[in-house]
Amino acid sequence: MKRAVFPGSFDPLTLGHYDIINRGLTLFDEIILAIGVNANKNYMFSLEERVQFLLDTFKNEPKIIVDTYEGLTVDFCIKNKADFILRGLRNPADFEFEKAIAHTNRKLEKIETVFLLTSSGKSYISSSIVRDVIRNGGDYTVLVPDSVRV
């Protein structure tokens, strides 16, 4: 079985995440959407809300598992018998950042990182942009799946 972990804070889940996850389903038998918990980070949405966004969005997809974790992503992968980490790339800056993490993860464990380019119509979307739109009263609904409503 080819199992991948798609780690993130999903604060909130965006159409960019949704794009990568759906395309990843064609490559993997199972994808674990792993919400990383960082006590030093201030989130807009609670962990419970973020879990619910993912569960609601993928409720009809049996190949998706939603879980949370603390610590290293590679340790979570080992614990869950996942040989792959799935990541999305929006731009060259994402590539440089993600490349360093992928090399580090590969050095720590025998985990391969698979990169998918975000579809062109979604490459500008990021969780931080969505949070800014929400904070300023803009129409964020065009940037997120239907399950993400505040």
Question: Is 149 within the bounds of a domain?
Answer: no
Question: Is 150 within the bounds of a domain?
Answer: no
Token pair of 140 as six digits? 């964020």
Residue 92 has a pLDDT of: 86
The residues carrying an active-site annotation are 17, 41, 90, 127
Q: What is the CATH number of the domain that holds 130?
A: 3.40.50.620
Question: Is 63 within the bounds of a domain?
Answer: yes
Question: Is 147 within the bounds of a domain?
Answer: no
The number of domains in the chain is: 1
pLDDT digits (tens, 9 = 90+) for 85-110: 999 999 888 899 999 999 999 999 99
Question: Is 124 within the bounds of a domain?
Answer: yes
70-109 burial by CB neighbour count: b if 16+ within 10 A, else e?
Answer: eeebbebbeeeebbbbbbbbbeeebeeebeeebeebeeee
pLDDT digits (tens, 9 = 90+) for 17-75: 999 999 999 999 999 999 999 878 899 999 999 999 999 999 999 999 999 999 999 99
**Domain encompassing residue 131:** 3-142
